Copies of this chain bind each other. A is one copy, B any other.
Amino acid sequence: MATTEHNEYGPGYRATQVKHHEWRTAENSAGHLLPRLKSMAKETPQLKLLDVGAGSGTISASLARYIPDGQVLATDLSDEILDRAGKYAESVGVKNIKFQKANVYELPFPDSTFDITHAHQVLCHLDAPSDAIREMLRVTKPGGVVALRESEMRMWCIWPELPPLLQFHNVAAKTLVANGGQDNGGRQLVSWTLKAGVARDDITASFGTWCYSAPDDRRVWASAMIERLRDGQMRGKAIELGIATEQEIDDMANAWDEWSKTDDATLGIMNGEVLADKK
């Protein structure tokens, strides 16, 4: 049985981090689910979607817009972030969404409750991802779908290749692992889903990306990373782990600042994706 020790969310919930996460929408972060969601919503307008580990809730709110007659339930471990997510949904006028504190290993819902169960960047923070997928399948109706998307922390491509940014990538991956997460979760999604009991024929695998290159996108990304480095948990963790000095951390923050002001700057990040059909 999975412990819940590693369920805390490493990067924390500071304002800049949350703003960075608010950049995430269904369109840029759940593209693998959208065609299925649209076709299911046509057949079942009142469908029920569970978003597990919803964090700042912007993907959840964005998904809710696709099912105006349906209902989204967004869960997270943190009351603080759920409160913020609720205010965000209200501020953008999304009404068909509710929030509830829940642990992905023990979801407080009966079997076969939801048409779609979705998790984004959740499993890579867990020590027993297959147990979490099995629990998500349990609460999903037969004929429904479990949609997963997990970062590949190793798969970043940065341009220009400023050495402090390459070091940053290394520190970020090591910090994730030190917090109990996995830095190659995206490529393991099919494997985890098979271990959760889904047949290979019922799995559709793909990879999706984030691209930070347009000036506004660069600014959102860089300010979040600079905050993690200057005041956030990443600074403390990197020092604690002995993988970066104070000077190196300052160099990384300055390099992100420089990068955000560089016209040909680009950052690509790859994510693994799975749709698992519940039989």
Judged by a CB distance under 8 angstroms, whether A40 is at the interface is no
Inter-subunit contact A209/B270 (CB<8 Å): yes
Does A68 have its Cβ within 8 Å of any Cβ on chain B? no
Stoichiometry, as copies per complex, reads: 2
A265 vs B205: C-alpha distance in the bound complex, in angstroms? 11
Residues in A199-219 with C-beta less than 8 Å from chain B = 200, 204-211, 213-215
* Cβ of A187 under 8 Å from chain B: yes
Q: What residues on B are CB-neighbors of A154 within 8 Å?
A: 157
Mask: chain A, 149-171; 1 = CB below 8 Å from B; 0 = not: 00010110111110000000000
Instruction: Decide: A209 and B211 in contact? CB cutoff 8 A.
Output: no
CB closest chain-B residue, reference A264 = B191
Q: Which residue of B lies closest to A191 (CB)?
A: B264
Any chain B CB within 8 A of the CB of A18?
no
Q: Which residues of B contact A143 (CB under 8 A)?
A: none
Known: A159-B190, A209-B270, A213-B205. A263 touches B200 (CB 8 A): yes
| Set of chain B residues within 8 Å of A207, measured between Cβ atoms | 157, 209-211, 268, 270
Q: Is A186 positioned at the interface, with any CB of B under 8 Å from its CB?
A: yes
Chain B residues, CB < 8 A from A191 = 159-160, 264, 266
> In the complex, which of the residues B158, B188, B194 contacts A187, with contact meaning CB atoms closer than 8 Å?
B158
How many Å from the CB of A158 to the closest CB on chain B?
7
Q: Is A272 in contact with chain B by the CB < 8 A criterion?
A: yes
Which residue in chain B gives the minimum CB-CB distance to A274?
A: B213
Q: Is A78's CB within 8 Å of the partner chain B?
A: no
Can you name the residue of chain B whose Cβ is closest to the Cβ of A194?
A: B264
Q: CB of A113 within 8 A of chain B? A: no
Q: Do A205 and B266 touch across chains, with their CB atoms under 8 A apart?
A: yes
Alpha-carbon gap, A32 to B160, bound state (A): 23
A184 at the interface (CB under 8 A from B): yes
Residue contact A208 to B209, C-beta cutoff 8 Å:
yes
CB <8 Å contact, A194 and B270: no
Contact A272 B263 (CB under 8 A): no
List residues of chain B with CB within 8 A of the CB of A266. 187, 189-191, 205, 272
Once bound together, how far apart are the Cα atoms of A186 and B188, in whole Å?
A: 24
Residue-by-residue, is A5-49 near B (CB-CB < 8 Å gives 1, otherwise 0)?
Answer: 000000000000000000000000000000000000000000000
Partner of A159, one of B158, B187, B204, B265: B187
B residues less than 8 Å from A155 (CB atoms): 155, 157, 268, 270
Listed in ascending order, the chain A residues whose CB lies under 8 Å from chain B are: 152, 154-155, 157-161, 184, 186-191, 194, 200, 204-211, 213-215, 263-266, 268, 270, 272
